[in-house]
Chain A
Amino acid sequence: MASEKDDYILQMRHIDMFFPGVKALKDVTFNLKKGEIISLMGENGAGKSTLVKVLTGVYHKTNGEITFDGQKIEPTTPLASQEMGISTVYQEVNLCANLSVAENIYIGREPRGALGRIDWHTMQKNASDLLFRELGIDIDVTKELNFYPVAMQQMIAIARAIDTKCKVLILDEPTSSLSDKETERLFKIMRNLKSQGISIIFISHFLEQIYTICDRITVLRDGTYVGEYEIKNLPRIELVSKMMGKEVKEGEIESNVDKSIPRDNIFLETEHVTVPGKVKDLTMDIKSGEVVGFAGLLGSGRSEIAETLFGTLLKTSGNIYIHGTSVSVKTPMDMMKNRIAFCPEDRKVQGIIGDLSVRENIILAMQAKNGMFKHMPRSRQNKLADYYIDLLRIKVSDREQLIKNLSGGNQQKVIIARWLATEPNLLILDEPTRGIDVGTKSEIEALAVSLAKEKGMAVIFISGEMGEMVRTCSRVMVIRDHEKITELNGDEISTAHIMQAIAGDYHGKSC
């Protein structure tokens, strides 16, 4: 008994957590051994983030006990937890965008010189040493944080967490914005930390990564504890079924998309469209009834093309035609009137209006389009909201629930509902499944396909996950360095071909 206790660095028992009106965690157990990497798995809304926040003192548990390092603890604030040795890197980078990299790493514990003055020189030197030593990154640490891309910011957040002497490191979706190479680098660091006896809680939606790096898995579902498993005893398909609470067959996730090219009904065309530094001389067309994928690496310009089509980025030259007529675009409203809808990439910053209800979030775009004096009566708003909540199976307690209290997947569905309500002819989905559980993910993929096939809508699907593109798209445009380099059609579309095209080795049958 005693030896078992020694084994565990952290034990959480019978954890309950209530939010007003909602039971977010119910009798959850969580055990973490010294020097292991464990994964916390569950669909969106299963309670992973809540459990982590209880552990780090962001939320205060209603019931239950936590033993850390042999002692009972009551996490009060994130800072207190950090001082005990529990560090966290959250899903969204939570650093200060307009401070320098060095300041971000050492904020709150700056090296001091004489008279308590901040020793900038040492701070900068330590920061760049730390980044280089631990992560192999060589950057200018005096630059502001938002000078660097999100992936780099994520690495900096990890560096900060590692540097505070921690015993338990929590990584909440750290890889969702990292490239394969960066992820590999992160894994190397994680293994290194593990060998030093640090325990890591790794939360990720990528099964591949979980099976590469983790020793054990704890599964949660709907705020309850499902079980704890050694990774080698749990085949993937069983893990997925435990997360979803139902049996899943391998084929169900793969959808069989009809790859036939739809009737020639061009909805939108672009001709030499250019946005300096963002989009280079883009000529393409989108047909009604097809799902077109934009494939490319992060930062390749795939989102910028979408923004140009929606009017949040303005072209400096070239033409955009809708149904063959040239349109002028000055604001997103111009494109909304042309029945174009856009679900942006960053759900939290560009999508949700956190403190508004699900109902208000759903009617927002439609109301904006109608103008403020054509106010929809409340009964109609309710009907519309209920219709989409039902249609997209959005999990809410009722339509007046604040959207910020929903899980990521459900927030995404609300944003999609917002745009479906405007009855678009072209729906642009930019990374609609990022950070979303497997179940919701396949629902959204299936939705994109059915909107195109059944409603005749044109859909642009942007994703960094090749498999998803292969499953949903009937045509894929490959973007590299802000330029469309090739198009893949029908049977050509495969993960291998897309990868080769991005790398520049495949030019497609059509070119």
Chain B
Amino acid sequence: MENLVKKFTSSSLALPLVALVILLLFNAFFVNDFFKIEVMDNGNLYGRPIDILYRASSLIILALGMTFVIATGGIDISVGAVVAISSATCCVMLGGDISGVPHHPFFIAIIASLCVGVLAGIWNGTLVAKFKIQAMVATLILMTAGRGIAQLMTDGQIITVYYKPFAYIGGNIPGIALPTAMIIALLMICLVLFLDKKTSIGLMIQSVGINANAARYAGIKVTAVLFAVYIFSGFCAGTAGLIEGSLIRAADANNAGLNMEMDAILAVTLGGTLMVGGRYYIGGTIIGAITIQTLTTTMYAIGVSSDRLPAVKAVVILMIIVFQSEKFKEMYRNYKLKHQNNGGSKEASNA
């Protein structure tokens, strides 16, 4: 038992998990029926825990892609804008006919959106891997240009899609109890875990992130690895774009995915992956994303208005990050050690 506790506390997941549990406990005490899950008349599940996971879905997906990018020592701040492009693509393909008849078949619109995400990834990957532009600068280009591109696609209009099945992605597919977004997020998690456990891509990514030069001397194709992570991040953003678009059943080039890149980066850091690259923690990232969403939901539940939300959120996140920092851990260890020593010397003097 003691071993298990020790194993848990020394594991990289311990802190993010503890933070999340504390948040949930807070909810359990202060929010009525927080953990209650009901089955609605139409068979769909309903309740705050489901709501949190459902709302966190697109963030989880973005953060998964971001984890790999950050592990190589890079960053992709264009994902929010790519979400906008992707959702615009889908809406434009489906068209805004009030009759609800789509211009193109639904599956083609979906594939087109995902392709647009991948295309954005190729663009970023080319700049970072091929032209060796610093990741922040390279992805900044698409971050600023992306919303403009989405505007061009929608002609500056907010296209509202009346085609019914489009709403299934952000809502429920009739007859399936879980929200579709959660299922998509689950599938993405499975894909990433498969890549992590059953292929060596993780080893390659971490090697590149820790010491790209040595990785090259060990025969790793550094350029290809970098290229791959940006493409994957773009693909994730494309997927999240579909969900975000479907949630409001419209292409809103200005607001779709707004500031989501920052939340995604935050989720990754909360999960314990360092911005300098190297070791990454998939589990941590997922917990990080859920923590961020739980926080938002909690604040709404206890009546913090949406304009004050960012300030409260910032304070809580600051606390989590400080507790996780190496320096804080070291201070804690020293404190504990001193405490023990003092205790020890007292006993000795008593004897």
Contacts and interface: CB of A to CB of B under 8 A. Distances in A.
Partners in one complex: yes
A375 interface: yes
Given A333-B219, A375-B199, A352 B204 contact: no
Interface stretch (B171-179, B205-213, B307-315): B205-213
B210 A354 contact: yes
Nearest to A351: B214
Contacts of B206: 353, 355-356, 360
B218 A355 contact: no
Contact of B211 (A354, A363, A365, A367): A354
Interface residues on A, range: 20 to 34
Contacts of B203: 356, 360, 363-364, 367, 372
Interface string B197-237: 01111011011001101111111110000000000000000
Nearest to A369: B219
B96 interface: no
A354 B210 CA distance: 7
B304 to A, nearest CB: 39
B279 interface: yes
A342 interface: yes
Contacts of A350: 213-214, 217
A205 interface: no
Nearest to A352: B214
A376 B217 CA distance: 20
A355 B278 contact: yes
B218 A368 contact: yes
A371 to B, nearest CB: 8
Contact of B204 (A342, A368, A418): A368
B210 A344 contact: no
Q: Which of A352, A353, A373, A374 has the most B CB atoms < 10 Å from its CB?
A: A353
Contacts of A368: 200, 204, 218-221
Contacts of A1: none
A2 interface: no
A306 to B, nearest CB: 11
Interface string A16-60: 000000000000000000000000000000000000000000000
B339 to A, nearest CB: 16
B211 A364 contact: no
Interface residues on B, range: 20 to 34
A365 B203 CA distance: 11
A349 B199 contact: no
Nearest to A376: B200
Contacts of A344: 217
B215 to A, nearest CB: 7
A333 B220 CA distance: 8
Contacts of A356: 203, 206-207, 210
A336 interface: yes
A312 interface: yes
Contact of B219 (A332, A354, A374, A375): A332
A351 B217 contact: yes
A311 to B, nearest CB: 9
A349 B218 CA distance: 12
Nearest to A377: B198
Contacts of A370: 200
A260 to B, nearest CB: 33
Interface of A: 312, 331-333, 336, 342, 344, 349-356, 360, 363-365, 367-376, 418
20 contacts: A312-B216, A332-B217, A342-B217, A349-B213, A349-B214, A353-B207, A353-B214, A353-B215, A355-B278, A355-B279, A356-B206, A363-B203, A364-B207, A364-B215, A364-B220, A365-B218, A368-B204, A368-B220, A373-B199, A375-B200
